Structure 1
Amino acid sequence: MAKSKDYFGLGRLISLILAIIPFTSWLLGFLTRLTEGKIVAAILRIFFGWWIVWLIDLICMVTKGKIWRALNC
């Protein structure tokens, strides 16, 4: 099983389990984007990460093994 680069390099199964839980998905998504240096994307995750981004992250984690990246600049 290949390692995902999201959620600090944890395995895909562990990342998927963490993505299912809304609070951990919100917190780890924020921290992941912050450590990537994407401050605007991290701030957007703080304000919109509860339901909208959580559902999109969950779908992306199941299909691709990565969180959704709205802003990649």
Structure 2
Amino acid sequence: MEKNDSHSILMGYLAWIFGFIGAHRFYYGKPVTGTIWFFTCGLFFIGWIIDLFLIPAMDREADNTFIMGDTNYSVTWVLLFFLGVFGVHRMYMGKWLTGLLYLCTFGLFGLGLLFDYLTLNNQIDEINGRHSAWA
């Protein structure tokens, strides 16, 4: 049986560098705690330091939860982190119409970006599940 490696532990540690704003928690599909980390600077930096040791467990949990497929989680998250206001991550996922809409509205004035931070793993999971069903 092939191991599902939907998320990269290296990407998790790179996102942890910005983890005081919850980046690694959003990446691993934990939007509620990611939001808490965002508003409290990683639980006043204490939770952020503890997360350094929890990333391997978060990686295993994400690998067991989300479906691997043609749309790569790490690539999509990097595109969201750095080019989200331009909708490049949505274009990469094949959502060209909303990608162009993000491009013209700077990520729907930031609200679309917020939505994507909270739901991106599920969006990718749905796309990958649909693609694997077609195969």
Q: Give the TM-score of the pair, scaled to structure 2.
A: 0.30
Structure with the larger helix share: 2
Bigger Rg over Cα: 2
Q: Give the TM-score of the pair, scaled to structure 1.
A: 0.47
Name which structure has the greater RCO, CA cutoff 8 Å, separation 6+. 1
